[in-house]
Amino acid sequence: MPRLTRAPRGTRRRRDGTGLGMPALPHPLTAPAEWAEIARPGTPLHWAAFDVSGGPGSRRDLLYAEVTSRVRENGVPVLGQLDAAYGRRPFGELVSDASHYLDWYRVDGFYLDRAPVGRAEAADCHWVITTLRALLEQEGAPARGRGAAGHIVLGHGTHPDACYADLADQLVTFAGPWDRYRWSEAPQWTAAHPPSRFVHLVHGLPEVHLDSALRIARWQGAGTVCLTDGSAREGTGPWAGLPGYWDRAVRAVGGGAGERPPPTM
């Protein structure tokens, strides 16, 4: 049983608005079915992120351009993944990669993987995000949840200093295996923010515990989740691909998988 048996004092126990996030979709050549599924109308996706080759790659990949366009047609923000290296990545490299994502794929925002967590790095992180917003606005990206251009997700993987909550649209405050997630807790400061600000990524999750994982996410105030039975193996991250219980996960977060039309790809 999870150690978290009740919400931290002041936590908003919201059970509406939960959706899915896809943090690391594989190449469409090796995973056409996965891209077809997330492009299917009615799938409760909050966003989908992709990484061509440690970033946008060295040139425009036509397959990625095609599949990301089809996902975007269904109103799902497509995010380019950037490696922040816990705040150690040179500013110029991040901006260069972001510009290529925009030029080649017209992304709707960015997922900053390995985002920093400490207060000392927050000022530099804020400057990076401000620059990314300016690039997105320049390219005509629409304003989203917080009224700013595009959508920015900070992939901390753990709870950062509370000051980061004011910097981005969403914070990934958990990324790890189910056997750790089931005993996790949220710090008190998260209760001051709505579930739409937090993302939980859980791998190695058996289907039998799917409902339990969703209850924990909702109890802790996370509005976006990625739940998968995948695990890291042979150089492949646990988030690559869809879980074996994808349709059930879609139904569980309110997508009505049984009523969705067939894939469009």
What does the DSSP assignment read for 87-98? GTS-HHHHHHHH
Residue 13 in this model has a pLDDT that exceeds 90: no
Stretch 222-241: mean pLDDT: 85
- The CA-CA-CA angle for residues 93, 87, 203, to 5°, reads 100
Whether the predicted pLDDT of 196 surpasses 70: yes
Average pLDDT over the chain reads: 88
9: β partners: none
Mean pLDDT of 12-23: 71
Average pLDDT over residues 73-92: 95
pLDDT digits (tens, 9 = 90+) for 96-143: 999 999 999 999 999 999 999 999 999 999 999 999 999 999 987 777
Q: How far apart are CA 116 and CA 185, in angstroms?
A: 20
Q: Which residues contact 79 (CB under 8 A, 6 or more apart)?
A: 47, 48, 49, 50, 107, 108, 109, 110, 111, 151, 153
pLDDT higher than threshold 90 for residue 225? yes
* Beta carbons within 8 Å of 252's beta carbon, 6+ residues apart: 210, 211, 214
Over the stretch 88-102, which tens digit does the pLDDT of each residue have? 999 999 999 999 999
- Give the mean pLDDT of 174-183: 96
User: By three-state DSSP, how is residue 189 classified?
Assistant: helix
256 has pLDDT over 80: no
pLDDT of residue 5: 35
Considering the entire predicted model, what is its pTM?
A: 0.89
264 pLDDT more than 70: no
pLDDT number for residue 140? 77
Query: Nearest to residue 112, comparing CAs of 199, 44, 13?
Result: 199
Q: Is the pLDDT of residue 11 over 60?
A: no
What percent of the chain stands above pLDDT 90? 76
> What pLDDT score was predicted for residue 145?
60
Query: pLDDT over 70 for what percent of the chain?
Result: 86
**pLDDT tens digits for range 18-52:** 999 999 888 999 999 999 999 999 899 999 999 99
